[in-house]
Structures are given as structure tokens and as C-alpha cells.
Structure 1
């Protein structure tokens, strides 16, 4: 009874009808039970253990030092700066280098990194610091090309004016021979028109898939999409195309597959081996809705991202971060600019292609063992059973990370053609960290609906402090999340399987009989665990 009143108080003060209502509304429970904790199986927690932190020491010299210094200066998790730093390195070397883990198998060096953080975590400041050298390089290149662009533009306008004058003259003459001569002169002039170069682009932020192809086509088939938000997913889902997802170019540009786009309304876009790097930091809530977007999971978009879900530092900051030392910032700028100066290799016929980085014997042994371990974990009941679309790409992603670390390590000198064992070990440790975060990310997306449902039911149990309850009562309380009784049953089954509940009375077959009754693990309610 409410406010300390028992049944006798209700009967005396409110009457028999009030007492009947109180009895009717009370949840049914099973038989009397012993509230001891003996006999319960080992508890398998519903919540994942704390995710491993990304160690900036795994990143070579100038890259790791910058990531650590930016994290300290902004009081943000190091994962955020590391993600944007790796994306910046990838933007510099994609299509210039690739990795050959085994004969006949090549991985490009573009990567897709996603670091989810709540608003207020100074994501814009971190992105700005880690991307600054790319922006500065773009400005420097544009300034260096400005004079040549102006000269060629002026020459082109002059030639076009002469061609227009001849065309008008040809149109006005009745002499076929004169017209033919003028037409040849016009053709010769237009054939001599020089293409006006455009300053190179390294990265973009808000761009449609259609325009992305045009930009990449005119920019050595490569670009990086870098943003401190998750608007990219809305664009890919069809924000500017009437809700129709447009994923083809991004999927092909992750793998380096040829692109052939011919549409009447736009110039054709033909690329042989496009490379797209992505570095974004959406809010965690954005991740929660990704799996529901048409095509995102089924077509492999979500399986291509490397996920990081660091804990927010909001509420625990000193608000007294130390500025990034100039020497660290300068070394970072020097390292990225050195990578940006690298040129593609050429074969005997002068055709350009990426430099292929092979693995040393020790690096290959480590990488192969890692790949075989992942393969086993993708079996039914294995760690990656529910995320095979992601884990199947993890060995390739580890090879890409090794290539990026190798290029960064030797940025200011000669880049050896072979990746060493120590570099591969660092890449595999990064990959292991990313694997733990990816599992948490897919759980957040609802990749394992049974686990998500079980957590929701357990939160209800914790709020109500039930020691026993019937399944019908749980369903009635949570009908907003479970429209049908059958929807909540897997959650009860998982809670029993993981040691949170015990079935104490099975559902009776006869109509109108009580639904299943469960006991809640007593030591959990007492806060012992």
C-alpha cells in the first residue's frame, strides 16, 4: 500500500472497492522462494567491459606526439586526435603507396575512421589542429599555381575570341572553299587550347556523392572527407536525392575499384583506381540509427569503417589544458608535407602506379596469424559471429594501418619497400583495439537485438526492484518497446542464460492460467555485484 498504509488501512479508510482495485493491480508472483544466491550460475554481464584506450605510442614519432599533445591541449580522448591524424596521413599517401601482404593481393592505403563523441568535446578544435597542414598545403599550392592559371586563362580567352571571330566569318560567307579553310583554322585553334589546371584538393567536408565523383576525377582520383559531425550519413542516405541512397562511388573508392559513371545531365566520370579516405566524429546517437538506413549494412558500408567509441571527458576536465608545443606542431607539419611531396612510381612505359610495400618475413607471420585468428572468431558462436561483414575486412584494414604507420615512420627520409615486424605489431595492436570498439559500435546499432532487448528489460527490473515477477507484468510495463508478447520473450531467455533471472514457474497450457514467473538474482538486487 502507498505511503506506508497496509491492506487493513485501505479497507478501513477507502472501503472494499479500493482494496479490490489494489489487489487486482498488484503483479502476480510465483511461489515462495528462497532469496539466497546459492545455486546460481556464473553471471555473464550484459554490459561490455570498458573499451581499451588507443595508445598514442603506437603511432610513429611526430604523429603520436601530435595526437597526444592535441588531446592534452583540448582535454579530449586521444582517440579523436589519433583518428584525424591517421586520416590526414592517408589523405597524403593514398594512391601513392599500397600494401602487398601476399603475392597478388594488394590493399590501398585509404581508410575510413569514425570516432563517436558527444557534442561539447571540442571536436572542431581537434579536427582543425590535425588537418591544418593539409589546408595549408592546399593554400600554398593554389598560390604557387595562381600565376600560371592566370596566364593560361588569358591565352585561352584570346584563342576562343579568335575562334569566335573566324566562326562568325565562316557563317557569313557563301564561298564553300573559304568556309572550309576557316573551319580548319577554327579546329586548329581549338585543338591548341591548353587545359587550365585547378589547384589540388586534399579534403572536403560537405559534398554530395555526385559532386564527389567530379572532384575526385579532376584531383588525381583521390580525396578525403573529414568532418567533426556525421552529416555524411544523411547525404549518403539520400538527403539530396529524394531519399534514394547513393553508395556506389564510396564503396568502390574504398576498395579502389574502377568507376564508370555516364549520365546525360553531367560530364562522364571515369576513374581507374579511386581512393577515398574518411575521418568523421559523429554523435553516438547517430551510430545508433545507422543500421536502420537502407543499404548501409546490407551493402557493406558499415563494414568498412574503423570505429572508436572513447569515453567523453565532459565533467572531468580541469579546463587548464597545455597548448600544443610549437616544436610538436612543426614536426607534424613537416611530416605531412614530406609525405605530400611523394610521387607515384612509373613503369618502363611511363605509366604511373602506386609504390607497393611488401611485408618482411616476421611481419607476414604476425599478420597471417592475426588473420587466421579472426577467421576462427567469425564461426557460429564466435566473437565476430554478428559482425562478419566488418571482421572479414579486419586483416586488410590491419595491413592498411601498417602501411600508414610505415609511411609516417619514414616520412622525412627514404621509405623502405618492406614493412618491418615492429611496425606490423603496432598495427595489429591498433586493429585489436579497433575490434573491441567495433563490437561496441555494432551493439549500439542493434546488431544483436536480443542483447539490446535484455538490457532494456534489466533496466526495468532495476528501477522497480522486483524480486520476482511474471513475464506478463514485464511486457505490460514495456509495451512501448515490445508491441507483442513474443517480442520480449528472447530478452527473458537471455537474462536467464546470463544468470540474471531464474525461471520458477513455467507457463501453464490452460487458458487463463498465469504466465511464466521469474526470480531476480538476489545478490544483484542487494548491490553485491
Structure 2
């Protein structure tokens, strides 16, 4: 064979980094923390920024919604998913963001133990009175009913939950019925499989995930637990996982057809593996404390809030800009740039309001102002535009690169194995045995993925004569990978 003139192979996936995460759009306390996390972990700042938006949004769920017009409001809820390769330090990023939520939850439960115990005793006392009255010859049904209602109305009988990690659909129902809103934050996005029938005989259970994205009433009837009604459940989601998670979601009929994937804002993290240093600047004490204090301030405000949701409004200038943008840009782009993700694009106008709601509430609280006392101004809307556009590019990438036959994923797996085993060349049949795994149940699957690698310049074929004078193909691996 003539000497192969190798060049850099074409990327198997298009770049998701058309525009960087607009860090300047975040309020200063969040911006400083996201930047510091990015520096100390040597990770894409979009990872911290994305998870932080979802987490901070949780602090305002059930308190505020932002109106685009009289009959259209959006809550400060984001379902976000960070997609990054192994060793991209997803766990440290999520840990830094989650930490103040965990410390607030622990301290709150410790400080309110006496209140919880008293509430539990009050419930038991009312239940005892009911049982006693029921034993009377002529029970006073009206009085019994009144006592049952009193018992049902007693709150704070159990420790609060703020952040949940690996959770089943059944447990999520219980936790949301007791807490009204939750933050699902985890560096193991694979837990989404819990909702796709992992513990339910393969039958998807997505109803609460779909409804909690917008605070829609959820009613569940079960033989054991009976009827559970959650009037206004809210769930904020910040997950991180490897590329196969996204590919599995895209190829899952239930996730795609239900509209669940269209509810997620994806962040495909830019990798710096191979160029990272350990001696990066750690998060300063000042930045960390400011972030923790701010989150604790927001969570305290959430726990102290006992009223109804308040509707926030755009300023006149912001409203005019938003309406013009929806009419003259979004609708056109759904058919053009977002043609590969029209289901996602159909929610783009709502995403802008959700981000604007989070930014406005965070801005006001950082200045000690009640968010409902000010309208959402034009500057805040423009910052929301910038962040939403980042996710638009991410979504276009995520939806367009997914191959129905999964060959891209399989090709990436082959490259990973080649690197791990330092494979430079080999017969196709030998390489199949070297790379065999659950992605390649047959040689045909493996050879199809190899053809994809050849198409993109990662390998080259050479026709050779093998043992017994049989014709075979030698695979040469591009030294640039």
C-alpha cells in the first residue's frame, strides 16, 4: 500500500461552541461563583452557569411567574442537562453549586426540630380524638370531619427536602406532596432511566416530570397509598452526564414523543482535557461565602413565603421588544435554524421568560428589593435573550447530531477503545474481537461504525492477503487521533 498521507480527521460531531456561555448576563454574585468554579476545575463555564441557573430558579418556584401577556405566564423553572465526556470533573462542579442548598436544609431541619415534633403531636392528638369520637354510640360526624380537616392542615410535620438526587417516580410523588417544590440536582443523569420504566416493568412514568415543569396539578391514584393530589408541583432540574445519556434520551420514544426532551436546555461542555493544570486558583473565601449567603437568603425567603404566586410583568419597553421578537424572529427560526428541533423551538419564547424571571428575581433580591415591586426591565430581557440564544445553539447541535442508527456513538466508542488499548492497526476481524461490547452485538454493527470512521478520516483501509490466502482488510488508525 502506498504511504497514507494523514490529515486531521473531521469531527464526528459538529461543534456545540458556536457562542460561549454569556457569563456577563448573570448577576454578579452568581457570575463570580460560576467563573471561580470554572477556573478551579478547568471546566467550561457553561457547566457551572447552566446548573446554577436551574438551582437558583428553584429558590423562586411557587413564589413568582412572569407574564408575557395576560393569559401566558412562565415559572422560573429550568430543566437543564450538562453533557460532558468522562473525566470532565462534572461532580466537583455540581458539588460546589449544590453545597449551600444542602447546608441550609440541614440547618433548617435542626433548628425546627421542636416545631416539627409539636406538629406531629398535634396531629396524633387530633387523630386520637377522632378515634375516640368514632367509638361513641352516635358519633358527631360533623365534628369528626372538622377535626380531620384540622389534622390535614397542620404543616411542617416532617423535615424539609430541598435537593434530591437518585429518586424513583414514586418517591418523587411523596417528596413533592410534602414539599411542593424540589431541586433535582445530580452528576448522574442516568437516573432519568428511573422514570422510563426501570422499576415499572418497562412502562414509562413521566407524568409528574411533565407537569412539574409548569406547576400543573398532579393527581395520582394508587391501591396502597390511595389518592395523592399535588395542586402546584414544581421541580427544578440540573443534571450532568456523559454523551450516551443524551443519545439514549434522543432515541427513546417516550422521552421524545412526550415532549420531555423539548423541556430540557442542554449544555454540551467544551473540553480542555489534555491542557488542564492542577495548580489553578481555588475559589476564594469571599466568593464562596457571598454565594452561600445569597443562596441561604433566597431559601429563607422561600420558606418564609406563605402567600400565593405573584405575577411579574415586563416593562413597556421590554414587552414591546419581546412581542416583536416573538412575531418576527422566533416563528421564522423554528422553521429554519431550529427545523431539526421544532419541538424544542416551540418552547423557545417561554424559555426566554423563564430565564428573565430568574434573572429579575435574583437581581432584586441581591439589592434587597421585593421582585414584585419592579417590572422586568429591558436590560434584563436582553440578558435573557443572550442566555436563551446560547441554549438555542446547544439545542440545534444536540438535536442535529443524533444519528438514528447510533453510528456516531459507536464510532466514538471505537476511538475510545483504540486509545485505551493503543491500537495502531489490525485486521477488521481482529479489531472486532478487541472492541466487542454491548454496542457491537454483531460484526456487522462494528463494521458499519468502522465505515463511519473511515468516512471521517479516522482510519484507512488496506486490502491485504491474510492466512490461507484469504482476502482481508487491514485497518490503519490515523496517528492524529
The answer to whether structure 1 residue 48 and structure 2 residue 19 are counterparts is no
Paired with 1:295 and 1:239, the residues of 2 have a C-alpha distance of 13
Give the structure 2 partner of residue 376 of structure 1. 332
Asked if the contact 2:218–2:233 (Cα under 8 Å) also holds between the matched residues in 1, the reply is yes
Asked if the contact 2:62–2:309 (Cα under 8 Å) also holds between the matched residues in 1, the reply is yes
User: 1:415-439 CA distances to partner (integer Å, 9 max, x unpaired)?
Assistant: 2431111111111011111111111
Give the structure 2 partner of residue 222 of structure 1. 181
Per the TM alignment, residue 97 of structure 1 is displaced from its structure 2 partner at its CA by 0.9
Paired with 2:11 and 2:148, the residues of 1 have a C-alpha distance of 73
1:306 to 265, 286, 304: 265
- The residue correspondences of 1:225-236 to structure 2 (distance < 5 A) are 225-236=184-195
- The residue correspondences of 1:12-411 to structure 2 (distance < 5 A) are 48-49=14-15, 50-154=17-121, 179-180=137-138, 195=154, 197-219=157-179, 221-342=180-301, 352-371=307-326, 372-379=328-335, 382-411=336-365
The answer for unaligned runs of 5 or more in structure 1 is: 5-43, 171-177, 465-477, 496-526
Q: Report the RMSD for the aligned CA atoms in angstroms.
A: 3.7
Q: What secondary structure does 2:158 align onto?
A: coil
Paired with 1:103 and 1:159, the residues of 2 have a C-alpha distance of 43
Q: What secondary structure does 2:85 align onto?
A: coil
Per the TM alignment, residue 329 of structure 1 is displaced from its structure 2 partner at its CA by 1.3
Paired with 2:141 and 2:356, the residues of 1 have a C-alpha distance of 58
User: 1:68-103 CA distances to partner (integer Å, 9 max, x unpaired)?
Assistant: 011111221111111221112111111111110122
Per the TM alignment, residue 320 of structure 1 is displaced from its structure 2 partner at its CA by 1.0
User: 1:446-482 CA distances to partner (integer Å, 9 max, x unpaired)?
Assistant: 37x89979x99xx9xxx99xxxxxxxxxxxxx96489
Relative distance call for 1:218 and 1:452 in structure 2 (3 A) is same
Asked if the contact 2:21–2:45 (Cα under 8 Å) also holds between the matched residues in 1, the reply is yes
Asked if the contact 1:97–1:344 (Cα under 8 Å) also holds between the matched residues in 2, the reply is no
The count of corresponding residues between Structure 1 and Structure 2 is 412
Relative distance call for 1:180 and 1:370 in structure 2 (3 A) is same
Give the structure 2 partner of residue 10 of structure 1. none
Paired with 1:257 and 1:422, the residues of 2 have a C-alpha distance of 30
Paired with 1:193 and 1:45, the residues of 2 have a C-alpha distance of 62
Relative distance call for 1:118 and 1:103 in structure 2 (3 A) is same
Relative distance call for 1:160 and 1:296 in structure 2 (3 A) is closer
Larger radius of gyration: 1
Paired with 1:226 and 1:212, the residues of 2 have a C-alpha distance of 13
Paired with 1:207 and 1:305, the residues of 2 have a C-alpha distance of 18
Paired with 1:368 and 1:162, the residues of 2 have a C-alpha distance of 58
Asked if the contact 2:59–2:302 (Cα under 8 Å) also holds between the matched residues in 1, the reply is no
The answer for unaligned runs of 5 or more in structure 2 is: 5-9, 416-423, 426-442, 456-479
Per the TM alignment, residue 63 of structure 1 is displaced from its structure 2 partner at its CA by 0.7
Q: What secondary structure does 1:297 align onto?
A: helix
- The residue correspondences of 1:408-427 to structure 2 (distance < 5 A) are 408-412=362-366, 413-414=368-369, 415=371, 416-427=373-384
